[in-house]
Amino acid sequence: MIAIVDYGVGNLFSLCSSLKKIGADAVVSGDKKVIERADKIILPGVGAFRDAIAKLKETGLDKTVKEECKKGKPLLGICLGMQMLFDKSYEDGEYEGLHLVPGAVRPIGEVIPAGYKIPHIGWNKLEFKKGTKLFRFIKEGDFVYFVHSYYAADCSEYITATSEYGCPITASVENKNVFGCQFHPEKSGEVGLNILRAFAGEGE
Amino acid sequence: MITKRIIPCLDVRDGRVVKGVNFEGVKDVSDPVSLAEYYSSKGADELVFYDITASNEGRKLFTDILTKTAERVFIPLTVGGGINTVEDFDRVLKCGADKVSVNSGAIRNPDLVYEAARKYGSQCVVLSADVKRVDGKFRVFAKGGRVDTGLEAVSWIKKCVGLGAGEIVLNSIDTDGVKKGFDLEMLSVVCDAVNVPVIASGGAGNIEDFITLFTEVPKVDAGLAASIFHFGEVKIKDLKEEMKKRGIPTRL
């Protein structure tokens, strides 16, 4: 069973529907026990980093997620959920993350050339490392859907995919059993469903 | 490289897709859920649903349709029509919308843009503007393009971006329904004024109109149309193949 962590942020409807579509057994829950019982965890998130991390900590689920991760349970952070995996974020201040992947979250405006719009919204090509577990059902150059204004920096050794937006932008990361996607697999059509299939463990 | 998006727009009333020509003379086209699935399978990059229902029963029907669509279609969904409060954002987001577009609701209360962006993030807030030339000036119209608000369009759009709108749908009333091409002049002016994505709406009649749009106004991010897709006058696959052939980045 996959537990989608519900800490009161964002819209989990599409994520749930996409997991249902691929036949995965998924449960949306804010209950510590359910997350502990799950085989895999998905940490979603949209909106502002400060609010999201505060809510996650308020519910105490930050500790649950970290403990389960330490036991080796696969975790997938999506969009802001990925950004929260890092040490800290510089979105409107400086905030502590979950320290599950070394690195920091910074405004994309600091790296992309002038004339590129912010947020980075739309379909962009994935350029990924061969052999990346999450991408075993898709092919190089497949498109995924992004919506973000901040990106994961200082994490080069954990980057498994980038997308070109005037410069390479971190699209996904992996640190042992911890995975993160900056893009939205649940909004990336058949390619996205295939990424979720890989996380769900199809064909393993 | 980010691709140029092709977005079919579904105007929904009483559970059915309709499309007005110059906002009048509405024709019934199809079932929204199957149409959405069809477009997604043919390569649409995103879908826009406009709720043009006036009644409460119709509104309930609309959210049911939205839910059914989001259960089956895994591309971004933008929802607009009748969005006047932050609660309206909440209502459609819970049914599976990813972005919410505001138009008359923002004109009545610009703080709505600010409040919604603060609560859901700028990426969620789309400003939709119906714009028409009046005495050579671009003016914003409300209520489905019927009422001249007197607002100057570029400053209105800039103001909303400042308040937190993360994307603009610019619908030219002057070219809407005419099928003679997008309003390149209006789009250029708006694209030069803001640094958020701009979606062109109104006027597409054939594939060449999209090619012209993306080559003449390279800052435009997406092209939106309704009836030409609904009636099969332009097939999304053909359009995208032509875009690729002409060197316009597209998802194929």
ipTM reported for the complex, 2 dp: 0.91
Instruction: Say if A55 is an interface residue toward chain B (CB within 8 Å).
Output: no
Restricting to A residues 138-157, those with a Cβ less than 8 Å away from any Cβ of B are 143, 145-149
pLDDT of residue B22: 39
pTM listed for this prediction: 0.93
Torsion of CA B123, B37, A16, A23, to 10 degrees: -150
Residue of B52, B166, B171, B36 whose CA lies nearest to B96: B36
Mean predicted lDDT score pLDDT of chain A: 95
pLDDT value for B157: 98
Q: What is the mean pLDDT of chain B?
A: 91
Residue B151 located in a structural domain: yes
Does some domain include residue B250? no
The token duo for B195 is: 């640094």
Note down the domain range covering B99: 5-245
The neighbouring-strand residues paired with B17 are: B12, B30
Residue B202 sits in a domain of what CATH number?
A: 3.20.20.70
The 10s digit of each residue's pLDDT in B45-99 is: 999 999 988 677 778 889 999 999 999 999 999 999 989 999 999 889 988 899 9
Q: What is the pLDDT of residue B68?
A: 94
Distance from the Cα of B67 to chain A's closest Cα (Å) equals 9
Q: How confident is the model over B181-210, as a mean pLDDT?
A: 97
Give how far B251 is from chain A: nearest CA, Å: 7
The answer, yes or no, to whether residue A127 has pLDDT greater than 60, is: yes
Q: How confident is the model at residue B19 (pLDDT cuts 50, 70, 90)?
A: low
What's the gap between Cα A159 and its chain centre? 12
| pLDDT tens figures, A134-171 | 999 999 999 999 999 999 999 999 999 999 999 999 99
Interface of A with B in 7-46 (CB under 8 A): 11, 13-14, 17-18, 20-21, 46
- A164 contacts on B by Cβ (under 8 Å): 1
| Residue numbers of B annotated as active site | 11, 130
pLDDT digits 0-9 by tens, A4-45: 999 987 678 899 999 999 999 999 999 999 999 999 999 998
Exposure string of B200-239, with b = 16+ CB inside 10 Å and e = fewer, is bbbbbbebebbbebbeebebbbbbbbbbbbbeeebebeeb
Contacts of B70 in chain A (CB under 8 A): 13-14, 17
What CATH number has the domain spanning A2-200?
3.40.50.880
Closest residue by Cα to residue A124 from A84, A161, A173: A161
Strand ranges inside A72-177, DSSP E: 75-78, 86-89, 95-96, 101-107, 120-125, 127-128, 143-148, 150-153, 159-164, 168-175
